[in-house]
Amino acid sequence: MTGLVIERRGGIAILTIDRPHAANALDAAASHALDAAMTEAETDDGIGAVIVTATGDRAFCAGMDMKEAAKTGAGQGLVADRGFGGITARRRTKPLIAAVNGAAIAGGMEIALACDFIFAADHATFGLSEVKRGLFAFAGGIQRLARELPRATALPMILTGEPLGAARLHALGLVTEVTGADRLMPRTLEVTESMLRHSPAAIRHALALFDASRDMGHDLALHFGAHFDRATLQSADSAEGVAAFAQGRAANFNS
C-alpha cells in the first residue's frame, strides 16, 4: 500500500493522496510514490498538467506522518533535491494544480503552496503547524509565504501555527478559487481542461517566464522574455492560433 491513487483523464494526471486514517499525512512510502508519479507525469508527453488532491473531506494533507516520525525520525517524507512529497522543491515544466479538499497543514500546506493554482473547498483550512512540534516550515512554506503574503499575516501563521480558512487566503490572493466541497473536483477539472485546450508550448513557456520574472528586475525580465519572441511568433502553434481566429474555428494545437 503506497497511499497514493493515480488516475489519468485525457492529458491530466490526477494524484490522490489516500491515507484518510492518518489525515492524509505522508509516510515515507507515500511521499516517494508521489515523487515517482510526479516524475512520470513530467516526462510523459501525453500529460499536460497534474492535479494533486486527497481522499475524503477532512484533510488534504496533514504533513509528515508523525507516528512514523516518532519511530524512525522526522524528515522521512523529504526527497533529495525535490522536497516534501517530491513536490516542494521540484523543478518542473507543467502546471501543477492543488484541489484542497480539507485541512492542508504543515507539509500539506507546503505542497499546496508549491502548486500553480490552488482550488479549495469552502471548509478547507491552511496552516504551518511545525512550531508546535519543535520544527519550522523550511521545505518551502516560510519562503513562499514571505513572497506571497504581508508580514503581518504570514508571521502569525508561521510563529503560532494557527491556521487560516480558505476564504481568507483567497481574499489575500493565495488561493485561486473557493468552491463548495461537491464542486471542488468538477471545477478544478473544468479549469484544467480549459487550459489544456491551448498550446502546450505556450503554456510551458508562459509558466517558465512567469516564474523566472519573479526573481528578476523589470528590465531584465523584459529582456529575458524577448528571447522567446522569434520561436513563439514563428511557431506552428502561433500560425495555427492566428489562422483559427481568422477562420472562426477552434484551434488545433499539436506541440
pLDDT digits (tens, 9 = 90+) for 14-27: 999 999 999 999 99
Q: Which residues make Cβ contacts (< 8 Å) with residue 85, sequence separation at least 6?
A: 26, 30, 31, 34, 35, 61, 77, 79, 107, 111
pLDDT at 33 over 90: yes
Domain regions of the chain by residue span: 4-195, 200-247
Mean pLDDT of 153-179: 96
Model confidence at 60, pLDDT cuts 50, 70, 90, reads very high
Residue 247: predicted pLDDT? 84
pLDDT at 254 over 80: no
pLDDT digits (tens, 9 = 90+) for 208-231: 888 888 888 888 888 778 877 777
Residue 1: predicted pLDDT? 59
| Lowest-confidence pick of 91-105, 127-141, 184-198 | 127-141
Residue 201: predicted pLDDT? 87
Mean pLDDT of 145-169: 94
Q: Which helix (H) or strand (E) holds 239?
A: helix 236-247
Residue 121: predicted pLDDT? 98
Pairwise pLDDT comparison (125 vs 135), residue with the higher score: 125
pLDDT mean across residues, the chain: 91
Q: Which residues make Cβ contacts (< 8 Å) with residue 224, sequence separation at least 6?
A: 209, 212, 213, 216
DSSP 8-state assignment for residue 16: E
Catalytic (active-site) positions? 110, 130
Residue 255: predicted pLDDT? 60
Mean pLDDT of 147-153: 92
Q: Are 123 and 130 in contact (CB under 8 A)?
A: no
Q: What percent of the chain has pLDDT over 70?
A: 99
pLDDT at 120 over 80: yes
pLDDT digits (tens, 9 = 90+) for 65-82: 888 878 887 777 788 889
CA distances from 184 to 59, 107, 159, 177 (A): 14, 21, 30, 9
pLDDT digits (tens, 9 = 90+) for 78-119: 888 899 999 999 999 999 999 999 999 999 999 999 999 999
Residue 51: predicted pLDDT? 98
Q: Which residues make Cβ contacts (< 8 Å) with residue 206, sequence separation at least 6?
A: none
Residue 118: predicted pLDDT? 98
Model confidence at 238, pLDDT cuts 50, 70, 90, reads confident
CATH top class, domain 4-195: alpha beta
